[in-house]
Structure 1
Amino acid sequence: MTIIPNSHSRRRPRLLQPALAALATLSVITTAACGSTDPDGPAAPPEPQQSTRTEVTGTRLAVTYNGGVLVLDRDSLEPVADLELPEFLRLNPAGDQRHLMVSTGDGFRVLDTGVEVSEHGDHNHYFAGEATLTDVTYPAPEPGHAVRHAGKLALFSDEAGTVQVIDPHEVTAGPAPEPTWTAPDAHHGVAVPLEDGGLFVSVGTEEGRTGATVLDAQHQQVATSDDCPDLHGEATTASGTVLAGCTDGVLLWKDGQFTKIDSPDAYGRIGNQAGSPESEVVLGDYKTDADAELERPTRVSLIDTATERIRLVDLGTSYSFRSLGRGPEGEALVLGTDGRLHVIDPDTGKVTQRIKVTAPWKESATWQDPRPTLLVEDSFAWVTEPGTKQLHVVHLPSATVVDTVELPEMPNELVGVGEAAH
């Protein structure tokens, strides 16, 4: 791997490696102390030595390319595995901070990033092993959305209209003989697990979606709404509100009932959303040209699910469906085609920062084509630049690009393992 010089003085290897080394030392000390709650009492027996794995400071990232998946060490960004798969691939976190779901022609295949997370009270230990494609596949013709919520993972098959709801921590156990639920008509849909064991599921046919239904834990219908034409995407908020986009606004499942928030325009499509556990405001895209083959909007939507209002923010630049993210404090983040990461206060709609990351770019009309992609975890954002095969790292609190590396392949999708589902 080639390290690309960065004009910024605060590069990640210089800025963070001393802290990482200190963290590793602290980790050893903490591990030795785990199990003893009395500082004056007898020492607890040491934990068994792990001879086949190495303790590291965090989880891993994954990047798809034309023909496979690169698994990257999160700190060094060095590839630790190159897993070949000869087709267009999509990735989603399974919800256990270790596994990813790879959407292939057969269904959702489980990818093991190789990092085991061991919880010790108020902190975690991370042990790195080999990253592999497992033999476990959840059958799903035309695999669609994979959604984590309420400690569960829901996998939707567009061709079959089936939903499989699984425990993320048992993802390698394989699928049950029968799906959890099957829609009356197959469609490009989505399902969101709810806290009470129920499901928020889309309603539609091959011609399109019309709304959503909520099922209880026994999969009996609780409520339904047909007031969401061309329903697409999903997001959840700090309070557990579920949101889906429509061509004329958004549909909420909130306080045990459906609520519709209308767009300011007769056709105001919100098809991609990003929620945050720190906020009741959901970030969404916003399109107003129903006849466009590919609309390149410059406005985004901020949907306040508490006040049930939509605020539009004009960025002065377009973006893509892979441009939306949320910061550690709930900041709304949008990667613009001007090459800048736009940071928005979700409560006021004010753009507070514009961080230069990539060269200006233009979105392809073919959605499967590579394009700059934004990933946010903790206090860092990672941004791909396919044209140069580069991956940039942004430290959000300092609004600084702290590292840039060149990858061995042109990156397409970029994902992390995310937070653990509880």
Structure 2
Amino acid sequence: MHCSRLLSTTLAAFMVAGAVQAQTLHAVRAAVTDHTVGTVSVVDLMTGEVLSRFNTGSPGGLRHAAAPGQVSMAQGQAGRVDVVDLGVTVESHGDHSDLKLSAPRLIPAVAQGPKPSHVLGGDGRLASFFDGDGSVVVVGGGSTATLRANVPHHGLAYPFRSAAGARLMVSHAAAAGARPGGVVLLDEEAKELVRNDDCPMLHGEATSGRIIGLGCGNGVLLLNTRTQEFRKVPYPAGTENGRMVRNLIGGANYHLFVGDFGPEAVTILDPDAGHFAVVDLPARRVAFTLDPQRADALFALTEDGQLHRIDTLSGKIVASAAVVQRYSLEGGSAVARPRLSAAGGVVAITDPMRSRLLVLDAATLAPQREVALPGTPLHVLAVAASGERH
């Protein structure tokens, strides 16, 4: 009896010690590019520390890459795509996940070609579309494959996995330089399986659950990646000609898509109900974003410097705050304007005119910290992760 009690006490003490040793960590890091020079900085959004700054071929845009914790950087002038590993890795152990933090690193020139545009990750692969010659470079699984769209155009290639195996969705256009009008689905041998021609002026894409959404001139085209079936959700009645979704973001914890919709609105699409909610903004939109893991809130920055938090379930603006000075929309893409990214309960906003990155609380829009970045910070993409450390 005495030995049994002693053993139980020892085991209990060991379990308590083990529980104390396991610490839950939260990490939020962001990649930030510059408008005029080829650099990308990695910032710890929870501390404001600039962890790394890498030289790249030229300025470029950011997207999520194939692996969690990595982002891609398409550099049109340099004709290459780099990948930035933010140093955030989550390892699943069944009953819990471990979070490992490491130094960020640059993986240069994972794909090369003329005028890279849309770079999309899925199914453990990264597909880079090159507008200059219509080529598509797919990297993943230790191999690289190159194929071509029917003609050069401003297009996309989206890797995904269906019930029947790995697939690649590639846009097609009627003539070289024309806007794409549809997509084809290719198998692992690049054989055409399915074709859809009902997406005029195709631009903008995102994933929510098993659904890929595409912005079209006449609505949003939805692809069920498991069944490889398409369906179209038309825009609301009365939508004026030329008003369309051109950029999409998909939710992960909520099955929805958010997108732009003309200069003074955003839209929320319920793909299951086939319903659009159009949210009119009080001024012209500069940028918008969504945290896919917390997709109940959409954030939109208007040219008066106000940031608006929109409830995606009600379609209402629930909070607004002045965060930056006024940024005019005149001057086109030659003018650097703020960009947004949300992750892990914060919103990151670049402020190019003041060479800084702002970090706000996503729930209250209250400022948390300001990070000085040399030059003209432009694009930002944040990644969040949580896990235990033993």
Q: TM-score range by the shorter chain?
A: 0.7 to 0.9
Q: Counterpart of 1:106 in structure 2: which amino acid?
A: G
Q: Counterpart of 1:89 in structure 2: which amino acid?
A: G
CA RMSD of aligned residues (A): 2.9
366-375 vs 252-261, greater mean Cα deviation: 252-261
Pairing partner for 1:96 from 57, 67, 84: 67
Shift of 1:115: 4.8
Distance 2:334 2:382 in 1: 19
Deviation digits for residues 168-210 of structure 1 (CA, Å, limit 9, x no counterpart): xx6xx6x62x41x421212111122223221222111422211
91-100 vs 278-287, greater mean Cα deviation: 91-100
Match of 1:125 in 2: 99
Distance 1:214 1:330 in 2: 31
Match of 2:21 in 1: none
SS at match of 1:367: helix
Deviation digits for residues 54-81 of structure 1 (CA, Å, limit 9, x no counterpart): x985253221122222222332222222
SS at match of 2:273: coil
Query: Retained in 1: the 8 A contact 2:186–2:194?
Result: yes
Instruction: Return the structure number with greater strand share.
Output: 2
Shift of 1:251: 1.4
Shift of 1:235: 1.2
Shift of 1:108: 1.0
110-119 vs 94-103, greater mean Cα deviation: 110-119
Q: What pairs up with 1:136-285 in 2 under 5 angstroms?
A: 136-167=109-140, 176=144, 178-179=145-146, 181-196=147-162, 197-204=166-173, 205-238=176-209, 240-254=210-224, 256-263=228-235, 264-285=239-260
Distance 1:161 1:222 in 2: 20
Matched, 1:323 2:288: yes
Distance 1:211 1:115 in 2: 36
Residues 116 and 368 of structure 1, relative CA distance in 2, 3 Å threshold: farther
Q: What pairs up with 1:2-41 in 2 under 5 angstroms?
A: 39=11
Query: Retained in 2: the 8 A contact 1:144–1:155?
Result: yes
Distance 1:419 1:184 in 2: 39
Deviation digits for residues 264-321 of structure 1 (CA, Å, limit 9, x no counterpart): 333322111111112232111112xxxxxxxxx112222221122322211111113x
194-203 vs 55-64, greater mean Cα deviation: 55-64
Shift of 1:378: 2.0
Residues 151 and 137 of structure 1, relative CA distance in 2, 3 Å threshold: closer
SS at match of 1:392: strand
Q: What pairs up with 1:23-102 in 2 under 5 angstroms?
A: 39=11, 58=27, 60-65=29-34, 66-67=36-37, 68-85=39-56, 87-102=58-73
Query: Retained in 2: the 8 A contact 1:248–1:270?
Result: no
Distance 2:93 2:361 in 1: 27
Match of 2:338 in 1: 372
Residues 209 and 57 of structure 1, relative CA distance in 2, 3 Å threshold: same
Deviation digits for residues 130-160 of structure 1 (CA, Å, limit 9, x no counterpart): x443455312321111112344332222223
Of all paired residues, the percent bearing the same amino acid is 26
78-87 vs 305-314, greater mean Cα deviation: 78-87
SS at match of 1:311: strand
SS at match of 1:413: strand
Query: Retained in 2: the 8 A contact 1:93–1:416?
Result: no
Residues 39 and 343 of structure 1, relative CA distance in 2, 3 Å threshold: farther
Pairing partner for 2:369 from 394, 403, 410: 403
Query: Retained in 2: the 8 A contact 1:375–1:416?
Result: yes
Distance 2:380 2:12 in 1: 48
Number of positions where the alignment pairs a residue of Structure 1 with one of Structure 2: 354
SS at match of 1:370: coil
- The TM-score normalised by the length of structure 1 is 0.75
Unaligned 5+ residue runs, structure 1?
Answer: 1-37, 47-54, 288-296
Deviation digits for residues 36-59 of structure 1 (CA, Å, limit 9, x no counterpart): xx956999xx9xxxxxxxx98525
Deviation digits for residues 233-263 of structure 1 (CA, Å, limit 9, x no counterpart): 101223x111111223221113532222222
Query: Retained in 2: the 8 A contact 1:94–1:417?
Result: no
Distance 2:130 2:338 in 1: 27
SS at match of 2:353: helix
Q: Counterpart of 1:145 in structure 2: which amino acid?
A: H
Deviation digits for residues 306-347 of structure 1 (CA, Å, limit 9, x no counterpart): 122322211111113x42324614322212223222222223
Q: Counterpart of 2:288 in structure 1: which amino acid?
A: S
Query: Retained in 1: the 8 A contact 2:27–2:384?
Result: no
Match of 2:353 in 1: 387
Q: Counterpart of 2:250 in structure 1: which amino acid?
A: G
- The TM-score normalised by the length of structure 2 is 0.80
Query: Retained in 1: the 8 A contact 2:129–2:137?
Result: yes
